[in-house]
């Protein structure tokens, strides 16, 4: 019997990042992962996305005899730094169809204060 070699381990999380005056929008491809297995951490302007991956693939022959079983368990992470700090309290995350979408409002920057000289 001959099997085609398939890549079982996940590749790096691929992201698209958009920015406007008020927020960042991040779309991350994380196919085949349950939303309960995804974590997002925000530390100022540093964003970290992690996922626990559990993939199973069974190949059976005639009569249901198991000929091959391939499984992969592991984790993948992606971290990046944005140009402005994120307001964690207003951040939002949604996961559908293998894509994690983050809405990351920018933290209001403190107004520059000019000191009066006496």
| Residue with more model confidence, 1 or 99 | 99
pLDDT confidence tier of residue 11, bands split at 50, 70 and 90: low
| Residue 91 and residue 104 in contact, taking contact as beta carbons nearer than 8 Å | yes
| Residue 51 and residue 38 in contact, taking contact as beta carbons nearer than 8 Å | yes
Say how many C-beta atoms besides its own lie within 10 A of residue 28's C-beta. 22
| Residue 109 and residue 31 in contact, taking contact as beta carbons nearer than 8 Å | no
Residue 54 token pair: 């559990």
Classify the phi-psi angles of 98: left when phi > 0, otherwise alpha if psi is within -120 to 50, otherwise beta. Answer: left
β partners of residue 96: 99
Task: Give the percent of the chain with pLDDT over 90.
Answer: 58
The model carries a pTM of 0.73
pLDDT confidence tier of residue 1, bands split at 50, 70 and 90: very low
Domain 14-105 carries which CATH code? 2.60.40.790
- Residues whose CB falls within 8 Å of the CB of residue 70, separated by 6 or more in sequence, listed in order: 6, 8, 56, 57, 58, 59
């Amino acid at each position: 019997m001959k099997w085609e070699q398939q890549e079982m381990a996940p590749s790096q999380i691929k992201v698209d990042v958009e920015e406007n005056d008020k927020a960042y929008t991040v779309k991350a491809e994380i196919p085949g992962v349950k939303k309960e297995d995804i974590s997002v951490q925000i530390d100022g302007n540093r964003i970290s996305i992690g996922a626990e991956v559990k993939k199973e693939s069974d190949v059976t022959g005639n009569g249901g005899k198991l000929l091959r079983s391939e499984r992969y368990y592991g984790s993948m992470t992606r971290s990046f730094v944005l140009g402005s700090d994120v307001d964690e309290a207003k951040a939002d995350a949604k996961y559908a169809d293998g894509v994690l979408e983050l809405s990351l409002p920018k933290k209001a920057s403190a107004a520059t204060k000019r000191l009066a000289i006496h």
